[in-house]
Structure 1
Amino acid sequence: MSDKTILTVNDMTCGHCVGTVRKALQDALPGADISVDLTTHKVEFTGDRATGEAAIREAGYTPEAA
């Protein structure tokens, strides 16, 4: 699980959003390294990109390539 994915999530607008995105990724990718930055709207994680993107979408957000 060393491949890092960086996505932009522009509809992540508050601290609650950050927590929701982080939890969705933690649930979908246990043990992944996860970084969520509200200021830049960047989400970085290790693990399967498709799984991470799907988890973010299921949480109600729109991930895009960074």
Structure 2
Amino acid sequence: MTQAAVKTSIDSALGSQLDRLFGVLVTNLETQSAAEATAEFRKGLEFSLRAHAIATSVAEELIKG
């Protein structure tokens, strides 16, 4: 798998995660206060971005050999 293909795959996974997070945010806004819903969204977003950065870094190192 080329570096570009790996990056595309990792970016696609992040996109899917962000779609899920936005869906959860909308659902939570119906049942929680805006502050609670956005705090939960922020936690999920921060986790997702850290995971994306780690996955990208690991993939780059593996491709380098």
Structure 1 length as normaliser, TM-score?
A: 0.35
TM-score (norm 2): 0.35
Q: Which structure dedicates a bigger proportion of its chain to strand? A: 1
